[in-house]
Amino acid sequence: MSPSPFPDSPRWRSAFPYLANKGKDDRPLAFLDSAASAQKPRAVYDRMHAFALHEYANVHRGVYDLSEAATVAYEGARERAAAFLRAGGGRVAIFTRGTTEAVNLVAWSWGEVHLAAGDTILLTEMEHHSNMLPWRALAERKGAKVEYVPVTDNGAALDLAAAQALLAKKPKLFAFAHASNVLGFLTPAAELCALARSHGVTTFVDGAQSFGHLPVDIEALGCDFFACSAHKACGPTGVGLLVGTLALMENLPPWQHGGSMVEKVRFDAITYRPPPARFEAGTPPIVEAVGLGAALDFLDGVGLKAIEDHSVHLAELAAAGLRKIPGIRVIGPEAGGRQTGIVSFVSETVHAHDMAYYTNGKGVALRAGHHCAQPLMHRLGVPATTRASFYLYNTEEEVERLVQAVAGAVTFFQA
């Protein structure tokens, strides 16, 4: 296996203040839960702190200098995010509270206009609850049905033949994750979107696990909607993005009502502003948006391709090491097929929560449970998995600690 693009780089790891803290074994914590939420570099905190103390005012409202400067910073973050995602081609970027809110926005706004009784929404078996429950609730409201593209055995890939057959039935919408939060592979999003488009199907891509972890080109993907959150990409909580085609968005009704999203209000009439303002009712996450912009500057400084290669390299090392431990089964792609920094596994003798509790005592932070993907757990025939997720600040030494801790847990619980 080729070496990591920047193995154990102190330059990037030292940018994250928390990682200098000692864990329970008096060593720096091996933080392997970035798929849940990533650590933040000091540059993000510094930019948010400076803005909050010295540059803050409400946006889009004041004519005084401070407000106008804050508006420039806020809109600059929007432009920065759109460029980061290559969201050209007549698309608009809308700030949300995160991926979950973005899904709900489309489910309510697009769904109320375009879905009718008897229609079908197509999902996949591997979706996070946030990209499943809003669509199922929409289907219940409208009298529509939901179908699922299956994953292959052991969660190694999406069943593309089944996807082709289901898309040929012309569902109204196909919503799917760009990267699974459990299985460690990427969906062929551009191929799926092109196939959906050939059947007149609207596409929604959940980019929560790909944004900030690998290069994303929305124009190349060709999706109608793309959603993501800042907090998994070195940014703050409380802010995310919905990128949609302007042709779709400008013909959709707002899903929330309040200040800033109207041009004119009379006792008997309302005129809504065009997107993105139409979908950003109330005071937006101003400081958080500025923090997102700082996070994207940081990630570009590292290089998204290098981040992707490094994360996959560590995940492959981890999967290979875990497979050598008796009674451990790695979920997802076979050796050499992993495409993201996520590795989920189960033990024949140790419950996932016991495993994570034990590794915590060894200074290794893992996620245990169903990962907000209970239908996928049912499909795989497991109650839960333990998940390690790698990012730019993780190291090969932490992979060794992970494997040692898991092996120790197996031995401990067999005693």
Of the candidates 268, 292, 384, 272, the residue with the CA atom closest to the CA atom of residue 85: 292
Give the separation between CA 95 and CA 91, rounded to whole angstroms: 13
Give the separation between CA 76 and CA 93, rounded to whole angstroms: 12
The mean pLDDT values, 10 residues at a time, for the chain of 415 residues are: 53 90 85 98 99 98 97 99 96 99 99 98 99 99 99 94 99 99 97 99 99 98 99 99 98 96 97 98 98 98 96 97 98 92 98 98 97 98 98 96 98 91
Contact predicate 302/213, CB 8 Å: no
The letter for the amino acid at 243 is V
**The pair of three-digit structure tokens given for residue 150, joined into one six-digit string:** 């299956």
> DSSP class of residue 35?
T
Q: What local confidence, expressed as pLDDT, does residue 25 receive?
A: 78
| Secondary structure (3-state) at 237 | coil
Of the candidates 290, 197, 286, 276, the residue with the CA atom closest to the CA atom of residue 243: 276
Question: Which residues participate in catalysis according to the annotation?
Answer: 372
Tens digit of pLDDT for each residue in 165-221? 999 999 999 999 999 999 999 999 999 999 999 999 999 999 999 999 999 999 999
Domain with residues 46-300, CATH architecture: 3-Layer(aba) Sandwich (3.40)
Superfamily of domain 10-31+304-414: Aspartate Aminotransferase, domain 1 (3.90.1150.10)
Domain with CATH 3.90.1150.10 in the chain: 10-31+304-414
Domain with CATH 3.40.640.10 in the chain: 46-300
Contact predicate 126/180, CB 8 Å: yes
Give the separation between CA 103 and CA 176, rounded to whole angstroms: 11
- Using alpha carbons only, what angle is made at residue 193 by residues 167 and 91, rounded to the nearest 5 degrees? 135
Q: What local confidence, expressed as pLDDT, does residue 9 receive?
A: 61
- Angle at which helices 286-302 and 304-323 cross, to 10°: 80
Query: Global pTM?
Result: 0.97
- The CB density around residue 261, as the number of other CB atoms within 10 Å, is 20
